[in-house]
Amino acid sequence: MPKKKSTNKNQQVKGIRLLQDPLLSKGTSYSDEERDALGLRGLLPPKILSQEIQLTKLDENYGKLEDDLDKYVYLSSLQDRNETLFYRFIMENLVETMPIIYTPTVGRACQSYRRIFRRSRGLYISIKDKGKIAEVLQNWPRENVSVIVVTDGERILGLGDLGSDGMGIPIGKLALYTACAGIPPGECLPIMLDVGTEDKVRRNDPLYLGTPEPRTRGKEYDEFVDEFMEAVSKTFPDALIQFEDFGNRNASRFLQKYQNDYRMFNDDIQGTAAVTLAGLLTACSIQDKKLSEQKILFFGAGTAGLGIGNLIVKHLVNDGLDENDAKKHCWFFDSKGLIVSGREGLNAEKSIYAHQQSHIDTFMEAINVLKPTAIVGVAGQPDVFDKPVLNAMADINDQPIVFALSNPTSQSECTAEEAFLHTNGSVLFASGSPFPDVEWNGKTHKISQGNNAYIFPGIGLGICVSGASKVTDDMFLKAAESLSDAVTEKDISQGRLYPPLKNIRNVSVAIASAVGKCALEQRLSSNGIENFSKEKISSILYKPIYKSML
């Protein structure tokens, strides 16, 4: 990151306070000289353990845990006491730990959050703080904040309204900003906007930590979020604000309302769109086709699906198609059937994809009539890509594209194994949650997870290094293209539509470089830096190594 003023208001932390600060603590790794100078003598066992030995102990204890939620709690406890060691372990074991600190296990963690809560992390801003949000923000102990992830907990993954129990999502997302893109953990701030919950079970649970009232809505809610946006942008003027897991009724309108005036984006809409577009571009290269040769049928027409459609249209327009013609490549099926012209009750976002076609009630009929080359599931309804659907896609296409993007795993439209089984192995498959490799005809196929973690850390890194004043759709287009370009011939031969997760830091750097250059082209960069090479960006990333404190 570009150098800023110090990130901690207290510069003389010593003794027990030093050991209790997870950003600074090295546990048992302090040298004899540090123990004397920092008032630690006697507060630690005398044996000095290197970070490598600490990692060995950590790996041994972690390996004994069998339940993924137990692993989540164990890693959260480590993060609460020693962030440097936490990130060293996460970054060296990213493939194994990402499903624990992020989807799908973070979904289970949020469902149980009130019971596994150990130590507060981030800021909780309650509806009762309305009128004094700026004061609450001032309580955050660090002045330099580069990335904020904020949620109101209304639509956590595919699990619904979890209220303040949804705080696990911003915490998990920011852990990936550090692990995948090198944003220093001290510059990350998770925020919960607690405006109540419609979940009566939570409201009546004495362990629930949030406001035990029905959700605030309407004018009061809008005024609350407006106040937050104004206050947070003044308190942390350099910060990127990522909206996460807001309800469908609010996600799109807040994006439209704020994106031109604040440095913000919505990952559920724009991040999902970019990672999906990247997967489609890779699938097109495998088929030796252009995106303009695809007909994409979405199961689900919420903010995520419509966001994907909008980015696809933008890509096609950039490739020379007329906008109206570009929209005809995207069809949407929602709870009331196929979206077609003349259907009553369509909102403005859905109406632009209402094409000339008679009404169709079932998804199976829509496939038989439209004969799509790709189906994309984004409705959080499990098992809708069943055997008849997958059989039909394989009958229509030599290499059907099937993206089952809903998560967590319990909400997936189909499993990877089902996709291969019912298409006789011809499928080009991606999922929202991780699935194990599939053995088919003597070959092991690596399953591609269309994970937003491929996109949002690189976007955030690019915004941080460029100082871009806002986040544009063109940046997400560049991110999608960079991600697709990162897929090698070897990856494709293994069945991948995305690069291996172990390479995600390099992917994030490539995306950040593209975003920085885009910010320059759009005259949005504000820090005077013009060198956004991958080498330059890589040189400034956070590295989880203990440093001398003398």
Q: In what order do the strands lie in the sheet with 264-266?
A: 123-126, 188-194, 147-151, 240-243, 264-266
Cα(296)–Cα(283) distance, rounded to whole angstroms?
A: 13
Cα(331)–Cα(311) distance, rounded to whole angstroms?
A: 14
A 10 A CB-CB count for 130 gives 16
Among 376, 373, 328, smallest CA distance to 354 is for 328
Token pair for 101: 């600190």
**DSSP-derived secondary structure for 248-309:** HHHHHHHHHHHTTTSSEEEIIIIIHHHHHHHHHHHHHHHHT--GGG--EEEE--SHHHHHHH
In order of 181, 262, 451, the CA distances from 463 in angstroms are 12, 12, 20
Peptide bond into 22 cis (omega under 30): no
- The residue to which tokens 């809903």 are assigned: 406
Catalytically active residues, by annotation? 102, 173
In order of 29, 269, 427, 485, the CA distances from 499 in angstroms are 36, 22, 18, 9
Q: How far is CA 330 from the centre of its chain?
A: 24
Among 454, 531, 548, 549, smallest CA distance to 2 is for 531
